[in-house]
Structure 1
Amino acid sequence: MLITESLRATGVSAVCPPLVTTWTRSGEYGRLIRMAAMLFCAGLIAATAQISIPLPLTPVPLTLQPTIVLLTAAVLGARLGATCLLLYLAAGVAGLPVFAWSPWLAPGMGRLLGPTGGYLLAYPVAAYLVGWLAQRGLDRRYITAVGAMLAGLAVIYLGGVAWLLLLGAPSGTPQAAAELGVYPFLLADVVKLALVAAFLPSLRRFTTSS
């Protein structure tokens, strides 16, 4: 309630349809298109996981996944965005090669127990949050779009740091976990989000005017 009132005070609408909904018709055909969009986004997230760069001093690789996850959420909205990420996780747990390559863990459920498990488990939560904020109109302006995606990134980082702590980060402190799971990626992730967020207001204006 407090968040909604704050959004109203800034002039954004209380509720607006997800971008993917404005692109499709209502009825059965529209539902099929939205399902196809969700499956495509899940596949895109899986594809970006295959492009990973190992970094020194951290077991977590650098990937494009957080950016694509949050962009997907802004386009699909809260419900479809979270469902898309749950579908992605289910595919990974089933053993499909959708997670980033790991030199230590085989594909499957074990990946969720490894050093990247916290980030993966946080994806649906972050997707729901960003989708919810986008449906409240934060994708209509660049600054608020960046803010929405940064909020989602914070959720992903929080999940990653908490998981690294559970796994026994050096010295067992949040600072040590952040040095492994946040600081090496923060600048690159913020730059990527800032670039991607620039497209959201234009997409919203295009879909609402067409």
Structure 2
Amino acid sequence: MLIEAGNQRSVMNLARDVGVIILGTILLAISAKVMVPFYPVPMTTQTLVVLCLGLFLGPVRAGATVAVYLFEGMMGLPVFAGSPPAVAGPAYLLGPTGGYLIGFLLCAIVSGFVAKRLSGTRPVFGAFLAVLSGSIAIYVPGLAWLGSFLGYNEKLLGAGLYPFVSGDVTKAAIACVLFMIFRDYHVMRRIR
């Protein structure tokens, strides 16, 4: 009887995790479509969603969510910014924004790990460090990959960093505020 109850609980946990991951990929796909056009990297609300995924879901679920999202895009689903009409699929990851997409995966894992690790500290401090480390995790591979298209000079920073810093600071602040508001809600405690 105990084994059966344990299996049922495991199945329910798995079902919950799959549902959370699917919902997360839907949020990421929607946030990819909410954008301010910039060249060569569009500014979207994806950063906000990825940071929130890390804060609320932790490194494993947040990382799994972004990995599934990237897989959906690689399979040709129009989940990335600019798709359609931009070609989805593996070619999209090889374009100028590919490094930022890989950075989303790193951000989800890093911000989730930092938030979980610092959960015993003051929540605002932990959330701030989590979003800061997550944002850095987006920019490092994003700029490295974009540099292969633009060169590693001031033009790279002008195209891939400077235009986005103020928006990303705003999104990071919003993620921290959302975390502070919703971290104690019963539903959020259950999905962590």
Q: Where do residues 180-199 of structure 1 align in structure 2 (5 Å cutoff)?
A: 180-199=159-178
TM-score norm. by structure 2 comes to 0.85
The equivalent residue for 1:53 is 36
The equivalent residue for 1:177 is 156
Size of the aligned set, in residue pairs, is: 181
Does residue 1:201 correspond to 2:168, yes or no?
A: no
Distance 1:209 1:32, change over 3 A: closer
The question of whether the paired residues in 2 share the 8 Å contact of 1:78 and 1:130 is answered with yes
2 CA distance for matches of 1:179 and 1:209? 41
Write 1 or 2 for the structure with the bigger share of helix.
2
The equivalent residue for 2:82 is 101
The question of whether the paired residues in 2 share the 8 Å contact of 1:134 and 1:148 is answered with yes
What is the letter of the counterpart of residue 130 of structure 2? A
What is the letter of the counterpart of residue 155 of structure 2? A
The question of whether the paired residues in 1 share the 8 Å contact of 2:24 and 2:53 is answered with yes
What is the letter of the counterpart of residue 41 of structure 1? G
Does residue 1:127 correspond to 2:127, yes or no?
A: no
2 CA distance for matches of 1:104 and 1:178? 27
Superposed displacement of residue 206, structure 1: 3.7
Distance 1:206 1:106, change over 3 A: closer
2 CA distance for matches of 1:103 and 1:209? 36
Out of 85-94 and 142-151, give the one that drifted further.
142-151
Does residue 1:158 correspond to 2:140, yes or no?
A: yes
2 CA distance for matches of 1:146 and 1:77? 15
2 CA distance for matches of 1:201 and 1:103? 36
The equivalent residue for 1:114 is 95
Q: 1:44 aligns with which of 27, 33, 40?
A: 27
Q: 2:60 aligns with which of 66, 79, 85?
A: 79
TM-score norm. by structure 1 comes to 0.78
Deviations 1:105-135 (A, max 9, x none): 4121111111111100121111111111121
The question of whether the paired residues in 1 share the 8 Å contact of 2:47 and 2:171 is answered with no
The equivalent residue for 2:17 is 34
Distance 1:79 1:161, change over 3 A: same
1 CA distance for matches of 2:152 and 2:61? 35
Mark the runs of 5 or more structure 2 residues left unpaired by the alignment.
1-7
1 CA distance for matches of 2:177 and 2:122? 10
Give me the CA root mean square deviation. 2.4
Q: Secondary structure at the match of 2:19?
A: helix
**Percent of pairs with identical residues:** 33
Deviations 1:23-79 (A, max 9, x none): xx9532122112101110011001110122212xx3111100011011112111111
